[in-house]
Structure 1
Amino acid sequence: MTRQATDTYRVNAGDRAPAALVLEDGAVYRGLSYGAQGTAFGEVVFCTGMTGYQETLTDPSYHKQIVVQTAPQIGNTGWNDEDDESSRIWVAGYVVREPARIPSNWRSRRPLQEELARQGVVGIAQVDTRTLTRHIREHGAMRAGVFSGDGLATTDEMVARVADSPSMAGADLAGEVTTSAPYVVPAEGEARFRVAAIDLGIKSNTPRMMSARGMEVHVLPATATMADVRAIEPDGVFLSNGPGDPATTAHATALTREVLDRKLPLFGICFGNQILGRALGLDTYKMRYGHRGMNIPVMDTATRRIAITAQNHGFALEGEPGARFTSPYGAATISHYCPNDDTVEGVRCHDVPAFAVQYHPEAAAGPHDAAILFDEFVALMEDAR
């Protein structure tokens, strides 16, 4: 299967080189280089967000993934210096249909393609992303490679190189994205609570959301021990989002069990939801193509209310919506699920102060339906006092 670049972009392509996106099943999508030229490998996934590409690119949860944007035009608002979710772009590669020729936004400082090139991110444009997305939905997320410039070779050679690249299943990646040293984000106004946040790939907006609610946030590396947590004397513990296979997180899961043993209030999101679930005795599995975007519905089994959420995960917890189960720490419930496919989207403990969700209540650029979960964390810490 080969998809050809259109002539429309060639007229304005300048010196852009031919490029190819090659999937491990042999499918090839051809286009033109976008951003840096070269070769990049990762798991190819699609993101359905209509906006927020800067936040997507700088989200550490996308480490080792080649992101396909389903929105047909990308780059309209350029790149600014305020909306990064971390210190760098983390995606392994980038795939778009039609790049904006000229960014148009008062906050823009440079074009998206310029920032991609500056950070060495290999991308490809003029790909039929609708057909590509359907292919991923039908055949599942898989290993892939973006090749451009000197990286182009014969199809057989490129497929062979993709087949030799690492798989996301079994990938232990949190240690590659975590902070190298602890740091503190002070509370806005009076500090009402102190939180130990375990950085498994935390986004910048998360400490800001907690800070706005009076939390002094101590961000700790993924290697933090219970002694490190106790040294902070926290009112609560937070498990962040992050990349990789949750089955590899033996250290984070063990730390979570120690937190539960001490009955410290705990709140987790995304990767943190999977770690809490594993600490409670649930298994995880790799999804067919995952949930990635800003328009994914989630049902709260207690209230029957739907929230539209931002998500980015390719693994999920085993379980049935609303099921109550017995854990080593007492009773717990599968508290949230996605009505599209019944994927587990949250767990809540009844005998220890702990809960987690699979989605992103800190979502930037939105939606903000789930921001109230930070208030629930506040209430949990208040009750514990």
Structure 2
Amino acid sequence: MTTATRGALRAPAVLVLEDGRSFRGRAYGAVGETFGEAVFSTGMTGYQETLTDPSYHRQVVVMTAPHVGNTGVNDEDPESKRIWVSGYVVREPARIPSNWRSVRTLDEELAAQGVVGISGIDTRALTRHLRERGAMRVGIFSGPALDGPAGEAGLLAKVQASPQMKGADLCGEVTTGEPYTVPAIGTKRFTVAAVDLGIKGMTPHRMAERGIEVRVLPANATIEDIYALSPDGVFFSNGPGDPATADHPVALMRGVLERKTPLFGICFGNQILGRALGFGTFKLKYGHRGINQPVQDRTTGKVEVTAHNHGFAVDAPLDKVSDTPYGRAEVSHVCLNDNVVEGLQLLDQPAFSIQYHPEAAAGPHDAAYLFDRFVSLMEGQRA
């Protein structure tokens, strides 16, 4: 991504999709050009958590809510140390943010971190296009980036030459460079080794609230690195990219399954468990993103409103128990909008995973019990 400084008086901008459709608006954030996969998020709030979620690496996020930036930006809510989205698309930016914790505007934050965005376009029309045609590559161009000799045809050629999400191996680009520890809050009860494939900050915090010391390891950690920590449980995080490329995390998870250590995976971690068990994965037409997705926990029958961010899913049978190298497995959760697999569990050892985000940052808290379920597995193993 190349960027210039924030454009005064909102420089002209254009968004160009790989199928040739374009939308003209004004620059929002940094001025320049950027490329990524165009996806839409249906959340009406929580934009700061969305922007800083490493799972959005190399994606251009279209906000379906028409008014974005109302509460500004603070220093408490980011899920990581930087904004990860490749670009940002809004209909109407807030002119004056209003929140007692706000320290700067969203526009200023995007510009400061070099994130090229566009405002003033028909995001409803863009979202409908992506629903009908599917997520696709996109470019946003503003300021001098609009002045190429070939005009919009030249911009389209740049978009079509940019990398696709299918086949992208990205977790190594977002993982921590060094191991670190999130201490337990209160009395320490357990130690969990967390493999960082693009972890959100709230996830180890939710475990710490339950007396878990979380030892976060890079994505290239070895099985020896994990068990050097003498963990009571192992966690595989969310993250970006195509799970079909994640051969090392799959092999690592198989090593954990062979030792029958309590295991919990979220989002990318769910896809990794699916592959470790022998299931395939596939790319969804336009994915699930936002904080209002209905999911049924098939073990209890309860329906939850949940927070999602995934463009790939596990291809596992919904209505039968499958035999795997690690015992019997079944689909534990399913999306009620489209019957996509949203969770897996093993029946013969303590391992399960979820496709969505129970840490609820930002989002509903219906799924917080899943962290308690992980604690119960570790308690049972210790007993």
Q: Same-fold call, TM > 0.5?
A: yes
Counterpart residue number, 2:297: 300
Distance across 2 between alignment mates of 1:140 and 1:266: 33
Contact 1:46–1:67 under 8 Å retained in 2: yes
Distance across 2 between alignment mates of 1:66 and 1:366: 20
Distance across 1 between alignment mates of 2:77 and 2:168: 28
Instruction: Please give the secondary structure, in 2, of the residue aligned with 1:232.
Output: coil
Q: How do 1:222-233 and structure 2 match up within 5 A?
A: 222-233=219-230
Q: How do 1:66-145 and structure 2 match up within 5 A?
A: 66-145=60-139
Q: How do 1:185-334 and structure 2 match up within 5 A?
A: 185-334=182-331
Q: How do 1:4-15 and structure 2 match up within 5 A?
A: 15=9
Instruction: Give TM-score scaled by structure 2 length.
Output: 0.96
Counterpart residue number, 1:155: 152
Structure 1: state its 5+ residue gaps.
Answer: 1-12
Deviations 1:146-202 (A, max 9, x none): 100011141100110000000000000000000000000000111100000000000
Evaluate the alpha carbon distance shift between residue 136 and residue 150 of structure 1 in structure 2; reply closer, same or farther with a 3 A threshold. same
Amino acid at match of 2:143: G
Shift of 1:323: 2.7
Aligned with residue 363 of structure 1, among 348, 351, 360: 360
Distance across 2 between alignment mates of 1:157 and 1:302: 53
Instruction: Please give the secondary structure, in 1, of the residue aligned with 2:228.
Output: helix
Distance across 2 between alignment mates of 1:322 and 1:377: 24
Contact 1:301–1:321 under 8 Å retained in 2: no
Shift of 1:317: 0.4
Distance across 2 between alignment mates of 1:328 and 1:204: 33
Counterpart residue number, 1:184: 181
Aligned with residue 42 of structure 2, among 44, 48, 64: 48
Shift of 1:369: 0.3
Deviations 1:38-68 (A, max 9, x none): 0000000000000000000000000000000
Instruction: Please give the secondary structure, in 1, of the residue aligned with 2:188.
Output: coil
What stretches of structure 1 move > 4 A for 4+ residues in a row? Answer: none
Q: How do 1:27-38 and structure 2 match up within 5 A?
A: 27-38=21-32
The number of equivalent residue pairs is 373
Instruction: Give TM-score scaled by structure 1 length.
Output: 0.96
Contact 1:322–1:336 under 8 Å retained in 2: no
Distance across 2 between alignment mates of 1:302 and 1:54: 33
Deviations 1:234-277 (A, max 9, x none): 00000000000000110000000000000000000000000001
Counterpart residue number, 2:333: 336
Distance across 2 between alignment mates of 1:15 and 1:124: 13
Counterpart residue number, 1:10: none
Instruction: Please give the secondary structure, in 2, of the residue aligned with 1:37.
Output: strand
| Mean CA deviation greater in 241-250 or 323-332 | 323-332
Shift of 1:366: 1.7
Instruction: Please give the secondary structure, in 2, of the residue aligned with 1:284.
Output: strand
CA RMSD, aligned part only? 0.8
Shift of 1:224: 0.4
Counterpart residue number, 1:7: none
Shift of 1:302: 2.0
Counterpart residue number, 2:4: none
Amino acid at match of 2:10: R
Instruction: Please give the secondary structure, in 1, of the residue aligned with 2:158.
Output: helix
1:354 aligns with 2:351: yes
Instruction: Please give the secondary structure, in 2, of the residue aligned with 1:107.
Output: coil
Distance across 2 between alignment mates of 1:162 and 1:322: 41
| Mean CA deviation greater in 320-329 or 339-348 | 320-329
Shift of 1:301: 1.6
| Mean CA deviation greater in 150-159 or 197-206 | 150-159
Counterpart residue number, 2:15: 21
Instruction: Please give the secondary structure, in 2, of the residue aligned with 1:134.
Output: helix
Distance across 1 between alignment mates of 2:21 and 2:109: 28
Shift of 1:321: 2.5
Shift of 1:213: 0.1
Contact 1:301–1:322 under 8 Å retained in 2: no
